[in-house]
Amino acid sequence: MTHHMIGKVLQRRYQIVQSLGAGVFGQTYIAVDIDYPENPKCVVKQLKVSNCQPSYLDDLRLRFLTETETLKRLECHDQIPQLIACFEEHERFYLVQEFIEGHSLTEELPINKKCGEIWSEAQVVEFLEDVLGILDFVHSQGVIHCDIKPENLIRRAADGKLVLIDFGSIQPVDFGEDTELPIQNVPVTSLGYIPPEQFIGQTQPNSDIYSLGIIAIQALTGMAPLQFKLDPYTNEIIWHTPQTQVNDYLAAILSQMIRYDYEDRFQSAGEVLQIIQEMRWENELPQLEALYSLSLPPEEPSDSNIVATPVPPQKSAPLLTGMRVGLAANSVLLGLGVYSLFTTSPAYSDKETLYKATEEYQSGDLEEAIALVKSIPTQSKIYPEAQATVEEWQQQWQVAAEQYQFAETAFQAGRWSDVLAIAPKVPDILYWQSKTDKLVQQAQVNIEAQTQDLLAKAYASANNRDFSTAITYLRQIPQESAAGAIVQKKLAEYDKKQQIRATYFLQKAYNKASAGQFDDAVKFLQKVPKNTTVYAQAQMKLNEYAQKQRLRGPSSKVAVSKVNSASRKTQADTRYYSASKIDNLY
């Protein structure tokens, strides 16, 4: 959970002010740098730690330092946030990066309610070239992003350029080469963008190309990744139908980017860029009928029909030629070895069913999620995994429901601190976390309101020199309050003043007793608070003066009775202060 991080200060410098959500490899927050007067924003990423075994942490620490050195090499690119700091604190590992003012690509995609227009081919090509340029640089530095999705592409407000954020290049830190990425741990916003090989620990540079291709197709079709059908025999995504308005060259490029088997995809971002540039040279986006003539043998030119033809700046790549042959043959991308562009299939693959079930589970429909998983046939390769997932879902759901109920009960009872303490125990289920977040936010508001009320009462009591009551009010302020520093400062101040005032009362009692005014002496001793260093001495003197009052006669019986009931404490030494000096303070 993320609530407990809000307000925390890391390295005595970076104060967490907002959660940005979880990625595949860690939790991300917005922080302010309190070292600077203007408190500039920055982004803090807390990396996931699987366990706290010393050997694991040592290995993690070494890998973390190695990977952060790689990240430092990336900051020279204008469309990658600068790495500000990296550090370890309380066996947790953190990256601090530049905060980019702007909006995420999610707001521009057609599935977003604020933007209903399908992207044009020109927009998609421009988008691909922009991001591929970033990926080409990133991959050249030996880094794989691992979580390309709309939320991680920010349209920078300053110049309108796309900036790639939230690097997952620490992938080797948390997931070794042989470690699988459990689907239930993948954030909902990443589902559909992550390629198949990443779930089995075989992430490749062209895994990022797959994710980028999915975003481009989403922009062209207006469909979310999990809405795409899969070919039940090849597992390839079926997205290009006769209704999709897209040039076949561009469709071929996108289909090549999202091949199920990473070995069949483009192998580098530079390769995709080259193909797009050649497509541009071919009169930007050529029509399909113009390709048919390319599959026919050329006519022998005669002297009468020889004409000068423009020469391209460079020879066409074999891959682009393969696209032409495949398209010219039968409108099927045989040159790329891809499924038919115009074939549709109503069947869902088992893996897609599990994806869909996970989405339902995270959104709060456990019954539908289980029903979808149960529809996976027993002969399926992922059947054992699916069944294990259902068992875990049921257990986690029960825990989440119970913890939320505890939090809600605490909220209704006005136990705001208990709400904040229970919240981190709610499992990572988006539905329950969202409900719990609402309680936490309101509890935090109530805590601050309660804090202001208690502070006001404490100040009023202190103004009346009733420091004991003021301290009592301060100690009722919850530790989660944002006024923690003020509370500690005032507690120390009032405690010191209370000790001085208690010593003052004791000295006044001595003065009255020496003058034989035992009734007045008792009154001063009764004002000495219990939680002061001279309280024991005051109680001893109460007992002593009671005996003397008893000897003076019946007129003191009432006072003696009060003293006897209040004084049963052990003796202790005390210092004698100048009453006249303390009188000057009060």
* Reported confidence tier of residue 467, pLDDT bands at 50, 70, 90: confident
Mark which of 98, 131, 158 sits at the end of a domain. Answer: 98
92 lies in the same domain as 133: no
Predicted pLDDT at 86: 87
What is d(CA 549, CA 456) in angstroms, rounded to the nearest whole number? 42
47 lies in the same domain as 155: no
**Cβ neighbours of residue 518 under 8 Å, at least 6 residues apart?**
512, 545, 548, 549, 552, 556, 559
Catalytic residue among 58, 147, 166, 231: 147
Specify if 573 maps to a domain.
yes
- Position with higher pLDDT, 343 vs 110: 110
Predicted pLDDT at 255: 94
37 lies in the same domain as 121: no
67 lies in the same domain as 129: no
Specify if 72 maps to a domain.
yes
Q: Known catalytic residue: 147?
A: yes
* Reported confidence tier of residue 112, pLDDT bands at 50, 70, 90: low
Rounded to an integer, the average pLDDT of 239-258 is 87
505 lies in the same domain as 570: yes
Predicted pLDDT at 183: 53
38 lies in the same domain as 121: no
Rounded to an integer, the average pLDDT of 474-492 is 85
Predicted pLDDT at 560: 42
Q: Tell me the average pLDDT of the chain.
A: 77
The CATH number of residue 84's host domain is 3.30.200.20
How many structural domains compose the chain? 3
Residue 85: pLDDT over 70: yes
Please give the C-alpha separations between residue 467 and each of 295, 502, 566, 585, in angstroms, as whole numbers: 95, 10, 21, 14
> Looking at 76-85, 102-111, 180-189, 364-373, which range is the least confident one?
180-189
Rounded to an integer, the average pLDDT of 96-113 is 85
Residue 259: pLDDT over 90: yes
What is d(CA 448, CA 440) in angstroms, rounded to the nearest whole number? 12
* Reported confidence tier of residue 123, pLDDT bands at 50, 70, 90: very high
Specify if 380 maps to a domain.
no
* Reported confidence tier of residue 270, pLDDT bands at 50, 70, 90: very high
33 lies in the same domain as 53: yes
What is d(CA 468, CA 453) in angstroms, rounded to the nearest whole number? 17
Give the chain's count of helices (H) and strands (E): 19, 11
Buried b (16+ CB within 10 A) or exposed e, 330-339: eeebbbbebb
Residue 415: pLDDT over 60: yes
What is d(CA 147, CA 169) in angstroms, rounded to the nearest whole number? 9
51 lies in the same domain as 156: no
User: What digits encode the pLDDT tens for the residues 499-545?
Assistant: 888 888 888 888 888 888 888 888 888 888 888 888 888 898 888 88
The CATH number of residue 252's host domain is 1.10.510.10
Rounded to an integer, the average pLDDT of 108-116 is 68
70 lies in the same domain as 155: no
Mark which of 98, 124, 156 sits at the end of a domain. Answer: 98
Mark which of 56, 82, 98 sits at the end of a domain. Answer: 98
124 lies in the same domain as 140: yes
Predicted pLDDT at 24: 54
Would you state the structure tokens that stand for residue 340, as one six-digit string?
Answer: 């038919």
106 lies in the same domain as 77: no
Residue bearing tokens 């989440």: 400
29 lies in the same domain as 128: no
Specify if 374 maps to a domain.
no
pTM summary value? 0.50
Judge whether 489 is annotated as a binding position: no
Residue 36: pLDDT over 60: yes
Specify if 80 maps to a domain.
yes
Residue 571: pLDDT over 70: no
Rounded to an integer, the average pLDDT of 424-430 is 87
Predicted pLDDT at 181: 52
Specify if 261 maps to a domain.
yes
Tell me how far apart the terminal alpha carbons of the chain are, to the nearest angstrom: 50
Residue 14: pLDDT over 90: yes
Specify if 220 maps to a domain.
yes
> Looking at 150-164, 228-242, 555-569, which range is the least confident one?
555-569
Specify if 540 maps to a domain.
yes
User: What digits encode the pLDDT tens for the residues 304-360?
Assistant: 444 444 444 444 444 444 444 333 333 333 333 333 333 333 334 777 788 788 888
Predicted pLDDT at 513: 86
Query: Structural domain of residue 273, as residue ranges?
Result: 102-229+238-284
